[in-house]
Amino acid sequence: MTSGPHIVRFEHITKRFGGTIALNGVSFSVRQGEIHAVLGENGAGKSTLMRILSGVLSPDEGRCWIGETEKRFRTPVDAQREGISTVYQEPQLALHMTVAENIFLGHEPSRGFGIVDYPSLHAKTAEILSHLELAIHPTARLLDLSPAEIQLVQIARALAFSSKILILDEPTASITEHESDILFNLLRKLNAGGLTIIYVSHRLKEIFHLCHRATVLRDGEYIDTIEVEGSSEDKMIAMMVGREIKKRPEAAHRAAPADIRLAVRGLCVHESPVQVTDVSFSVGKGEIVALAGLVGSGRSEVAKALFGLNRIAAGKIEVDNVAVQIRSPRDAIRLGIAFIPEDRKSEGLISIQSLMHNISLPGLRLLSRLGFVRGGAERELARESTRQLSIKSSSEDADVSTLSGGNQQKVVLAKWLWLRPSVLLLDEPTRGIDVAAKEEIHTLIRELADAGVSVLLISSELPEVLALADRLYVMRDGTIVGELDRAQATQESIMRLAALGN
């Protein structure tokens, strides 16, 4: 890409949260008309910097320039007036409202006197969705959409009103490969038309497919800006973590265990976004079994049923060869089943509570005496969990909402692991996690399996499935369409089953 004028320039940006320095003197620039990646581990300061550019936060020190003019945005509206729109990793939408109402929220076409012109609203929305190649109806409520569709609506809203700069923070974290391809094609077309895009992602393959230059942050400090063409994944990883990541060799193929820990026979779930029909599988003691498939194939519905969150319409479940009834999470917990949900923000954590309270929550009775929680025991549990999982926070009293995405995910894991479950249900355990944290979690999963924990893994990342699973089942349209062992499984064989069925 030829060099162009600078459209965004950061000069010595510093931001503190109490005693924590999130950004320390960060300076770099983004060229007009480029797709510029911002990389770094969780907690590197990427999202904080993007929130400053989008007007959500103000820097404690430093200056931000848009073109040749210094800007200090006090609200997101100030940034939007300059043509800057942001798509966050976690949807910032009104779930009870329609697609059209969300896309045009604050920009509704009016007939006058505050009356919304709904025919015009729906027509304009249909045009935007058609441009994005999205088969979503303008009048559909977000509550009735899948997480992937909700994320795409958020992208559509940002693209509808961004005229100069579009910030994307992990935009593909919850969408399928096909939907990602649609997004990438659209971004390339918009970029060719002059739109500048700042792209925050942990997925390095996306950076090489899409971006012109990449800036790396580490521990809140600027490391370097490099041309993507001519670079390599290994070089970027070394810059992000300050050392080379030695990839652990894949575990040798393990023979199927003689003892079955979890057996599911003819499972049916009807009252869920995706109906599950006649699903049968097993997980042995110390075995990692994956449920693979596309978003919307019914994998999450199976996991939620096993944890008592979805009502089971038919089927049998056995734990250690004993038939069991799971009607609620309490039943599952008593049976030694733990569940790490896909959406950590709304389902895995209480964001306004501290790290300590989130970790202790599932087992408060074990930390209580005469109905009162023993504060010392609760605090020591949080400290020990923080050490074991290398959770980065200012203290165990820090609100979990102030932690980076990767550290939040570690808190979700920590709150179950101290209860020593025998069955661990993992739904997208490394979604939105940087490469170093992902390898830590992969190592933890292998260690748990080696210690005898039975793991049911749900992941949309096929390399992750192939790296971890001893066996895998592929789901499509709410049913299992194939079973593969480690020797048979390839990305091609999994996708063939996921897309076409058996």
385/368 Cα distance (integer angstroms)? 18
Asked if residue 2 has pLDDT above 60, the reply is no
pLDDT category of residue 241 using cuts at 50, 70 and 90 = confident
User: Could you tell me which residues are beta bridge partners of residue 200?
Assistant: 38, 169
Residue 347: per-residue pLDDT: 85
Q: What is the 3-state secondary structure (H, E, C) of 373-428?
A: ECHHHHHHHHHHHHHHHCCCCCCCCCEHHHCCHHHHHHHHHHHHHCCCCCEEEEEC
The CA distance from 349 to 393, in Å, is 15
pLDDT(176) > 70: no
Q: Please tell me the predicted confidence (pLDDT) of residue 32.
A: 94
pLDDT-derived band at 144, boundaries 50, 70, 90: confident
pLDDT given for residue 158 in this prediction: 83
60: pLDDT strictly greater than 90: yes
Give the pLDDT of residue 208: 92
Instruction: Determine the average pLDDT of the residues in 103-114.
Output: 86
What is the b/e burial string over 60-97, where b = at least 16 CB atoms within 10 angstroms of the residue's CB?
A: eebebebeeeebebeebeebbebbbbbbbbbbebeeee
Is residue 5's pLDDT more than 60?
yes
* Total residue length of the chain: 502
pLDDT at 330 over 80: yes
Residue 116 clears pLDDT 80, i.e. is over it: yes
The H or E element containing residue 314 is strand 314-319
Of the ranges 71-85, 141-155, 260-274, 444-458, which one carries the lowest mean pLDDT score?
141-155
- Decide which of 267 and 105 is more confident: 267
**How far apart (Å, rounded) are the C-alpha atoms in residues 230 and 248?**
26
The pLDDT value given to residue 240: 82
Examine the pLDDT at 390 and tell me if it is beyond 80. Answer: yes
Cβ of 478: how many Cβ atoms within 10 Å? 22
Q: What is the pLDDT of residue 337?
A: 96
Query: Average pLDDT for residues 76-80, to the nearest whole number?
Result: 89
Which pTM does this prediction carry? Answer: 0.65
- 260-500, CATH topology level: Rossmann fold (3.40.50)
Q: How far apart are CA 228 and CA 39, in angstroms?
A: 12
Architecture of the structural domain at 6-241: 3-Layer(aba) Sandwich (3.40)
Window from 25-34, 315-324, 407-416 with minimum mean pLDDT: 407-416
- The pLDDT tens digits of the residues spanning 181-205 come to 878 888 898 888 889 999 998 778 8
pLDDT of residue 160: 80
**Statement: residue 30 has pLDDT above 70:** yes
Asked if pLDDT for residue 243 goes beyond 80, the answer is no
Q: What is the mean pLDDT of residues 127-150?
A: 85
Residue among 367, 302, 308, 371 nearest 335 (CA): 308
Q: Are 328 and 308 in contact (CB under 8 A)?
A: yes
35-49, 245-259, 278-292, 358-372: which is most confident: 278-292
Residues of the chain with CATH 3.40.50.300: 6-241, 260-500
Average per-residue pLDDT in the chain?
A: 87
Distance CA 100, CA 50 (A): 26
> According to the model, what pLDDT value does residue 502 have?
61
Under the banding of pLDDT at 50, 70 and 90, the label for residue 3 is low
Region 168-191: what's the mean pLDDT? 79
What are the start-end ranges of the H helices in 288-374?
Answer: 299-306, 329-334, 355-360
208-224 burial string, b = 16+ CB within 10 Å, else e?
bebbbbbbbbbbbebbe
Mean per-residue pLDDT for 434-448? 86
- pLDDT over 80 at 250, yes or no: no
Amino acid at 222: Y
pLDDT of residue 312: 95
